[in-house]
A and B are shown apart, each in its own frame.
Chain A
Amino acid sequence: MSFLELKDVSIGFGPVSNRYEVLQNVNLSIKENEFVAVIGFSGSGKSTLMNLLAGLEKPDKGEVLLRGQPITGPGPELGMMFQNYSLLPWMSVYENIDLAVRSARPEIARSERKDYIMHYISMVKLDHAPDKKPHELSGGMRQRASLARTLCIRPEVLLLDEPLSALDALTRSDLQDEILRIWGEDKKTVVMITNDVDEAVLMTDRIVPLTMGPAATLDTPFEVNMARPRDRYTLNNNQEFIRLKTDITSYMMGLSQEKKKAAAAKVPMPDIAPKDFSLPSKRLGFKNLQAVSPASSSKA
């Protein structure tokens, strides 16, 4: 039985006249304690998919199920880790986590709360900086804090929305190992969005490609049947790793080509509108002015 499931989900934005279908007929079924990656080009609707799983958005059609029950809204059982940290800048690392613990785990007694929070802070190796404000931390440390905040509410599903895309390559691999270590210690269902094939192959059990938008959908998943723990240093010589990487990359590139072809299939019409030599009218000038002037905002 699937733990987390998307059934024929469609979602779009905008008014009827200018509708943009982001996702169409998306089907996905995730087993308990499975680590799944969704891979796709930027702008294909990955974050929308994540918001659907987190309950932040409601599908127009179809349903999102957790243990067979439809998800009605966001909640602590769905732990979302945002792309740009989303730590509250006026609170220290400790306070940020404290806020999450208090509201999502109210059953933890006041006396135990500190130990509980410190446990998670040391889990992400931030023991030296619990009282630092987010702006005093590096990008990697911020993402660690964000991870700790997500983990501390003990979600049933961990949703990672491009958690590492804002980091530099070295910090990135460091955090990848960190996430894997934590996942290894405390098995959990994880859905991770990424645009990095290497990352996906290294970390996950299954990789689901998202086709190009608009009206993107999930294609046949690639199973990653490599033994864990996977060693990133020897991985480059691993035949399975190379095969998967090549397959996924060529598939994704194929998607991109198709899209370009599809765009090219629309025969471009020659621009045969007559050139306008008349003087611009006042009305036109006003229109242009409106188009150019930025929305006035009085930020003092």
Chain B
Amino acid sequence: MANKSIDTIKYGLLRIIDVSGFTIFDPVVRLLFGEEPAKQTSKILKYIVIPTIFLFVCIWLWASIAPTHKTKSGQVPTPSQVIETVETNYRQYEREQEKKTAFLTTGSERDAQIKAAKERLKSLEEESKAAQSELTKVEESSLTEIENNLAPFKKEIEAIAAKLKTLTSSAKTEQTALADAIAAGTAKPETLIQAIADFETQKEALTEKRSELNKQLTEAREDPDALKAARLRANAVANEIQHTNSVIDHYEKKNREYQVNELMTKADAAAALASSSKDPKDILKAAKDQVRNTKKIEDVQEREYAPTSTVFWHQIKRSIFTVFVGFVIAAVIAIPIGMMCGLNRIAMACFTPIISIFKPVSPVVWLLIFQIIVGAFFPDPENHPLFVLSSTLPFIQDLGVNPAMVFSACTVAMCAVWPALVNTALAVSSIEQDHLNVARVLKLGFFDRLFKIIIPSSLPLVFAGLRISLGVGWMVLIAAEALSSSDGLGKFVWDEYQNGSSFSFANIIMACFIVGIIGFFLDRLMICLQRLVSFDEDGATV
């Protein structure tokens, strides 16, 4: 009995692996359950260990080649630098979250938090002091170290300069003497020419050596690692202090409750002033102020924290949402039209020219067209019902739906519609004649035929098409976001390319990996769906 339940777990796990398409982990599961250990181990070695080693070799190649290539945006980032930028970006996200909670905290909790933050600030300041003094110490020591390092080079350079000087002067006297001799007829002109040539080669050798030494000198002048590390530490602490200050600010002056209270006291004071006054003008003014203040207070009470957009998770969420919207639009258009084309040859003939002409059009062109056409629907985006509505819906309100996002989604839809459409048409038109004959013999009505026979039998191919569509959509989205400045991974890459700070290049590489990993998981998701709807023994081909 126990054996049986273990088997159930085992085959359940294997089935999950199979459906999700991670079949390379199949031997691991089998090994864990003790099935043919020798065979499984050899499989693991062949299909997991060796590929992993290969991956590490690739990373090692990257790490060793990257620093040798200098570009105008700095050197190509190494894997460790990319990991560092991931950490930096993630920290940015955490800090934004911290500020957000600070903005919303109320009451005694707020006071406690302020106290804690201030204490943290104090300790940070001490840390900073220590770091600064450490830095100055390291700076001094490294200054002398650098001087010491430079001294031999400087000496040598001076020696070469002196040599050059003596060489030049001696050559000059020699050459004038020779010239005189030639004029007197005691020497041949060739000797002078030879002497001049000799001098030139000597001089050249010396200058070359000098420039070589100068290069070494600049290299030696570079800060030692200890100094760099100390500087980084000091910077990090300073950064943290700045952040803590900002957090405190959000607990104090920028805090929502604080602002509301502030306004309320002001309003109360004004009201008190008005009630004590006897001047009707004052009373009128006070009443007006009252109304204005109430409105202001309401506004502040409803205000939300406005975070700066960060890759984690704001931009990633936004990109995924946009591609999802575009994909759904594409599927909603493609599947019915594809079915129509598959069922009816006239419909197919009608749509074929449209499909053939618009399918190869570049996403960039679609984006521009949508910006113009769809843009015309949003003359005043701030008050357009779509965006007003989207700012009240849960999940979506934080994403900041705007026209740029709509354009990107439309572009995604336009490019993703074709594979799904073509595949659906193919799926429907290639339904087995036998199944259709069954429908005829049973005299099924149109809807029974559609829902009992046509749709189920075409689903695997339709999902294969949808999978291609989602892949295309995700690729198109990144380009569309970059061009339409719709917040998301595409825009992140574009902005990084434009601003060119020292982290930009690493950020771009990071975005490349994020895009790839998300694309991979989207594809897996579609494979799972495709497998779940397919009815053959082995599932649809992956």
Q: How long is the Cα–Cα vector from A297 to B459 in the complex, in angstroms?
A: 17
Dominant SS among interface residues on chain A? loop
Contact yes or no, B435 A76, CB < 8 A:
no
Contact yes or no, A75 B535, CB < 8 A:
no
Q: How long is the Cα–Cα vector from A103 to B443 in the complex, in angstroms?
A: 7
Q: How long is the Cα–Cα vector from A133 to B539 in the complex, in angstroms?
A: 13
Q: How long is the Cα–Cα vector from A153 to B442 in the complex, in angstroms?
A: 8
Nearest Cβ in chain B — how far from A215, in angstroms?
24
Contact yes or no, A89 B535, CB < 8 A:
yes
A75-B438 contact in complex given A88-B452, A300-B461, C-beta closer than 8 Å = no
Q: Which of A56, A88, A297, A300 contacts B440 (CB 8 A)?
A: A56
- The contact string, 1 if C-beta is below 8 Å from chain A, for chain B 424-465, is 001000001011011011111100100011001101010011
Contact yes or no, B448 A90, CB < 8 A:
no
The range of chain B's interface size is 20 to 34
Which partner residue on chain B sits nearest A79 by CB separation? B441
Nearest Cβ in chain A — how far from B230, in angstroms?
58
Contact yes or no, A104 B426, CB < 8 A:
no
Q: Does B423 touch A at the CB level, under 8 Å? A: yes
Chain B residues, CB < 8 A from A133: 535
Q: Which of B419, B422, B457 contacts A88 (CB 8 A)?
A: B457
Nearest Cβ in chain A — how far from B450, in angstroms?
13
Q: Does A99 touch B at the CB level, under 8 Å? A: yes
Chain A residues, CB < 8 A from B434: 82, 84, 86
Chain B residues, CB < 8 A from A12: none
Q: How long is the Cα–Cα vector from A140 to B422 in the complex, in angstroms?
A: 37
Q: How long is the Cα–Cα vector from A75 to B437 in the complex, in angstroms?
A: 11
Contact yes or no, A104 B442, CB < 8 A:
yes
Which partner residue on chain B sits nearest A101 by CB separation? B442
Contact yes or no, B441 A300, CB < 8 A:
no
Q: How long is the Cα–Cα vector from A143 to B448 in the complex, in angstroms?
A: 24
Contact yes or no, A75 B426, CB < 8 A:
no
Contact yes or no, A88 B438, CB < 8 A:
yes
Chain B residues, CB < 8 A from A91: 452, 456
A103-B537 contact in complex given A78-B441, A300-B423, C-beta closer than 8 Å = no
Q: Does B536 touch A at the CB level, under 8 Å? A: yes
In residues 53-104 of chain A, which contact B (Cβ within 8 Å)? 54, 56, 73-76, 78-80, 82, 84, 86, 88-91, 99-100, 103-104
Chain B residues, CB < 8 A from A103: 442-445, 448
Q: How long is the Cα–Cα vector from A136 to B441 in the complex, in angstroms?
A: 25
Chain B residues, CB < 8 A from A297: 426
Chain A residues, CB < 8 A from B459: 90
Which partner residue on chain B sits nearest A103 by CB separation? B442
Query: Which one of A75, A76, A99, A133 has the highest number of Cβ atoms from chain B below 10 Å of its Cβ?
Result: A99
Contact yes or no, B535 A135, CB < 8 A:
yes
Q: Does B468 touch A at the CB level, under 8 Å? A: yes
Which partner residue on chain B sits nearest A95 by CB separation? B452
Contact yes or no, B443 A74, CB < 8 A:
yes
Query: Which one of A74, A76, A82, A90 has the highest number of Cβ atoms from chain B below 10 Å of its Cβ?
Result: A90
A88-B443 contact in complex given A133-B535, A300-B423, A300-B468, C-beta closer than 8 Å = no
Q: Does A234 touch B at the CB level, under 8 Å? A: no
Which partner residue on chain A sits nearest B434 by CB separation? A86
Chain A residues, CB < 8 A from B535: 89-90, 133, 135
Chain A residues, CB < 8 A from B438: 82, 86, 88
- Write the residues of chain B forming the contact surface with A, with a CB cutoff of 8 angstroms: 419, 422-423, 426, 432, 434-435, 437-438, 440-445, 448, 452-453, 456-457, 459, 461, 464-465, 467-468, 535-537
- Write the residues of chain A forming the contact surface with B, with a CB cutoff of 8 angstroms: 54, 56, 73-76, 78-80, 82, 84, 86, 88-91, 99-100, 103-104, 133, 135, 153, 297-300
12 further A-B pairs in the complex, CB-CB below 8 A; given A74-B440, A84-B434, A103-B445: A54-B441, A56-B441, A75-B443, A79-B441, A86-B438, A88-B438, A88-B457, A91-B452, A99-B448, A103-B442, A300-B464, A300-B467
